Amino acid sequence: MSMYGHIVFYYIPSAWASALLILYQGQCESLMSGISKVADSRAFFICFPRLLTSLLTLGVRQTLILARHIMLQKHRDYKSLTTECDGEREIRQYMDLDYLIRLLVKKEYYVQQKQEFKDANESRIPFKWQIGLSDYESDYKKGERCREMSIMLTSCWTCARKESYLMWKSYTNKMGVCIVSTIQSVVDSFRNNDTFMIDDYNIWTARMDYKSYYYSSQPEDYLHVKSVAYSDEDEIRFYFDKKGNNSESQKGIFIPTDYKIMIKRIILSPFIEPIASRFLADIIQKEYHFNKNQVLTSTIILKQ
């Protein structure tokens, strides 16, 4: 192999995975062409740690199956309303255990309308647009747009890279979990079926900006503005904007989801007793084919 081949093989993860796959298929003469073919594949750069973990824990055959799956995977587009919404960014969501069980068993992920959240500002039309302080017609249209956006289906995550005791307390009961993913993986995990078409929606992402609502000048600002009181959440959201003129009538829906794409790791709540936590981790690993490095107990230690 040439010097160029050695460089590509050792330093480009996508090339490494492609080469492994081609060798396994007995097509050694196509090795270099296979490397150059997928060297720019974004999927492998994102998923290389997953491939490496699979190789070390599940063996070559399962890793090759995973590599083939990633090579065929297409990334779904999303629109970013704010900066710092790169697809590879790690994000987390805290939820009760029953939501995770439904995601694993029925392969469905629940989202609800923005106006269903407890924060009254999620559905409130700014007063300045109700009375038309500057231009009545223009302000009325802005108010109507705010009303439309308040019924958008919404999924809330956090960008915080470490566990948060406050998030555990605020968004889970005793039997809670935290799922770890990336922005692109969440978007890619959604599926179409007979009752729901994800392709009927534009997906927007927005990292929340914590400031006063009063200073927002456009309705779209309200999709990424939140009271300073919530700043510890470091929140990022996914909005599902129905294409065309069709408004969303349901308060909440279950989206068909490939949990193996969405979930990179599962962290079990520190409020679960250790013996129960170990039992749950064992069941999740065995029944849903996660490895030990993907189902973890909390790093927060509490008195029992």
Q: How many angstroms separate the Cα of 80 from the Cα of each of 109, 113, 205, 246, 261?
A: 21, 19, 5, 22, 21
The pLDDT tens digits for 150-209 are 888 999 999 999 999 999 999 999 999 999 999 999 999 999 888 888 888 889 999 998
Residues β-bridged to residue 79: 204
The pLDDT tens digits for 238-286 are 999 888 765 667 889 999 999 999 999 999 999 999 999 999 999 999 9
Helices 31-38, 3-11: axis angle to 10 degrees equals 50
CB 257 within 8 A of CB 103: yes
Q: What is the predicted pLDDT for the residue at 40? A: 40
What secondary structure does DSSP assign to 152-199, as a single string?
SEEEEEE--SS--HHHHHHH--SSEEEEEEEHHHHHHHB---SS--GG
Query: Backbone phi, then psi, for 287, in 5-degree steps?
Result: -80, -30
| pLDDT tier, 54 (very low <50, low <70, confident <90, very high otherwise) | low
The pLDDT tens digits for 100-128 are 999 999 999 999 999 899 888 787 777 66
Q: Give the chain's mean pLDDT.
A: 78
Q: What is the predicted pLDDT for the residue at 59? A: 63
Is pTM beyond 0.75 here? no
Looking at residue 121, its amino acid is N
pLDDT mean over 65-88: 68
Residues β-bridged to residue 108: 256
Q: How far apart are CA 193 and CA 106, in angstroms?
A: 13
| pLDDT tier, 92 (very low <50, low <70, confident <90, very high otherwise) | very high
Domain residue limits, the chain: 3-72, 79-297
Q: List Cβ neighbours of 197 (8 Å cut-off, separation of 6 or more).
A: none
